Amino acid sequence: MAVDIHAHRILILDFGAQYTQLIARRVRESGVYCEIHPWDMSDEEVRAFGARGVILSGGPESVTQIHSPAAPNAIFELGVPVLGICYGMQTMAQQLGGRVTAAVHREFGYAQVTMVAPCRLFDGLRDHSDAQGRAVLDVWMSHGDRVDELPPGFVATGSTNSVPLAAMADESRRYYGVQFHPEVTHTLQGMQLLERFVREICGCEARWDADNIIADSISRVREQVGSDHVLLGLSGGVDSSVVAALLHQAIGRQLTCVFVDHGLLRQGEGDQVMETFARHMGVRVIRVNAEERFLEALKGEEAPERKRKIIGRLFVEVFEEESAKLQGIHWLAQGTIYPDVIESAGAGIKMPDGTVRAGKAQMIKSHHNVGGLPENMKLKLLEPLRELFKDEVRRIGVELGLPREMVYRHPFPGPGLGVRILGEVTKRYADLLRKADAIYIEELRRHDLYDRSSQAFAVFLPVRSVAVMGDGRRYEYVIALRSVETIDFMTARWSRLPYEFLERVASRIINEVDGISRVTYDISSKPPATIEWE
Ligand SMILES: Nc1ncnc2c1ncn2[C@@H]1O[C@H](COP(=O)(O)OP(=O)(O)OP(=O)(O)O)[C@@H](O)[C@H]1O
Ligand SMILES: O=c1[nH]c(=O)c2[nH+]cn([C@@H]3O[C@H](COP(=O)(O)O)[C@@H](O)[C@H]3O)c2[nH]1
Ligand SMILES: NC(=O)CC[C@H](N)C(=O)O
Ligand SMILES: [Mg+2]
């Protein structure tokens, strides 16, 4: 019997901070399972969750306002440790009888916290020492309000020049508050602090590791599926590839994958997917050549949203047709991961009066998604990666024996080159883009830059520009190169690729791709520009 990897669990209550996902990732990195829930979770839900500890996140609101979000009272009745971070500390202070005031100016960025009293949370952590030999930590702050009066039972454990009560603790109840953000890497000892909280103070065992996650998923899949047959949409991307490897281990011949070649894949991608899965791993993969069908449907279509919808609809049609042909398919598997779940659930922050303050997750583009399948498909959904972050998915992919290049490849959107060819999609444009993209990626790998970029690709611009080559005039299309650095793909910074490298790529593309006469490099950040161009 495998260990119950979910039994030792931490509850993270989200007050709308930018960094709530980071808190969860740090807790997971210390080997402990956790879930993020909205701050207005009911008392019953809190009790039913069975947390060994609770973390209250930061947030944009101010507890000095009436009707500001507060933690459910049940968390203070569970008898488990509570850690409040920033807004979380402020609401904890106020709810337990302390006082919070709005400061005149916001404190944003680097700060040093001096440990002014012993505290289990900080014990032994030190970046510097002050004149009296007390430990000093380098931390990152982002707040306007501050705790001015401690609640009964608490002592001040850390202070900065501008915030005397930068950390507080009530050791008898195991309640802790920090005004700074331990979840960001700028807080050097932040990971240790969070690990200390979940492992030592909450007493959670480190059960959340790749081996245990795999064993647990396999046994859950077997239980769910029984002897039924499963259809998986396999793209060759990270998520669906890991699902394929996992399901192959769990249910073997009951799994059939459908790989749709819509003619908008990268160079050699189709063959590579078949090679890896069908030949090497012995997974049953049906390759559907649907290039003509997709291109035909996209003919004359220039609007990005309409193109996305057409592609999404055709995907669904192909999956439906294939499952009908196979018969006896009861499940549709997909590579949904935890950020997809959080992002689709947590749009905006709900206020106590029921209104919703605008959140980050506004719909900018309809991401192609198998989740948009019609109800009447009667297929049940199987989503074994629903609880995992991308880095966890990658780790279990490696553990399951997938090639490293596949697991660490850049994400590739479902609509593929369809959203990287601006405006109308044609076979000629797709062929030109494929060639240019392959040169770019090949050079990135050759120069050891691929792994330093989070996502890199070429974009086809259907405008023409004059060039002179071999004394002749050319009047051809333009390629834009994009490379971004990002952790969560919600925000991104353009990569500072070396000039010499860009020069080499540009020259190769113009010389080798007949039909391209100019190359540009995209230096837009997200926001405001999104990662893809459409
Ligand atoms: N060409 C395709 N053929 C079959 N299914 C596909 C195809 N493209 C996308 N899908 C399905 O859509 C899902 C969502 O695509 P998405 O790109 O988010 O994930 P992925 O391709 O598995 O991983 P990555 O994010 O690394 O690209 C995939 O998990 C897969 O089930
Ligand atoms: O599966 C997908 N279907 C889509 O329709 C889609 N659109 C964008 N992306 C990927 O999502 C990330 C963020 O992209 P944007 O900044 O362009 O919104 C980037 O990694 C994009 O490649 C998609 N993935
Ligand atoms: N980052 C935060 O949690 C900020 C909390 C609160 N909004 C403040 O400004 O103090
Ligand atoms: Mg993909």
Query: Are 138 and 95 within one domain?
Result: yes
Distances in Å between the alpha carbon of 108 and those of 54, 400, 441? 25, 43, 38
Dihedral, CA of residue 391, residue 397, residue 398 and residue 399, to nearest 10: 110
Residue 139, domain CATH = 3.40.50.880
The last residue of one of the domains, among 353, 376, 407, is: 407
Query: For residue 74, what are the domain limits?
Result: 9-201
> Could you tell me if the CB of 532 is within 6 A of ligand 2?
yes
Query: Are 26 and 127 within one domain?
Result: yes
Q: 486-529, pLDDT tens digit by residue?
A: 877 777 899 999 999 999 999 999 999 999 999 999 999 887 89
- Any domain includes 1: no
Please identify every stretch of the chain with a pLDDT value under 70, giving residue numbers as ranges: 1-2, 342-377
Q: Fill in the amino acid letter for 261.
A: D
Residue 412 to residue 405: CA distance in whole angstroms: 14
DSSP string, 404-439: HHHHTSPP--TTGGGGTB-SS--HHHHHHHHHHHHH
Query: Are 110 and 221 within one domain?
Result: no
Query: Are 29 and 91 within one domain?
Result: yes
Query: Are 61 and 168 within one domain?
Result: yes
> Could you tell me if the CB of 259 is within 6 A of ligand 1?
yes
pLDDT for 386 equals 87
User: In angstroms, what is the span from residue 240 Cα to ligand 2's centroid?
Assistant: 15
pLDDT for 460 equals 98
The last residue of one of the domains, among 156, 177, 201, is: 201
pLDDT for 18 equals 76
Ligand number, closest to the Cα atom of 108: 3
Tokens 């306002």, residue located? 65
Q: Evaluate the CA torsion angle 171, 174, 179, 182 in order and state its sign.
A: positive
Query: Are 290 and 236 within one domain?
Result: yes
Contact assessment for residue 483 and residue 497, using Cβ atoms and an 8 Å cutoff:
yes
pLDDT for 368 equals 59
Query: Are 36 and 158 within one domain?
Result: yes
Query: Are 364 and 446 within one domain?
Result: no
Ligand 3 atom nearest 145 alpha carbon: 10
Query: Quick one: which of 206, 251, 228 has its CA closest to 7?
Result: 206
As residues whose CB is below 5 A from the ion ligand 4, the structure lists 235, 237, 412
Q: Which residues pair with 504 in a beta bridge?
A: none
Query: Are 279 and 168 within one domain?
Result: no
The domain tally of the chain equals: 3
pLDDT for 17 equals 84
Residue 220, domain CATH = 3.40.50.620
- Any domain includes 3: no
User: In angstroms, what is the span from residue 220 Cα to ligand 2's centroid?
Assistant: 29
The last residue of one of the domains, among 164, 183, 201, is: 201
Q: Which helix (H) or strand (E) segment is 156 a member of?
A: strand 155-159
Q: Evaluate the CA torsion angle 219, 252, 400, 444 in order and state its sign.
A: negative
- Any domain includes 471: yes
Contact assessment for residue 301 and residue 424, using Cβ atoms and an 8 Å cutoff:
yes
Q: Evaluate the CA torsion angle 493, 498, 500, 504 in order and state its sign.
A: negative
Q: What share of the chain is helix, strand, coil (3-state, %, to 5)?
A: 35, 25, 40
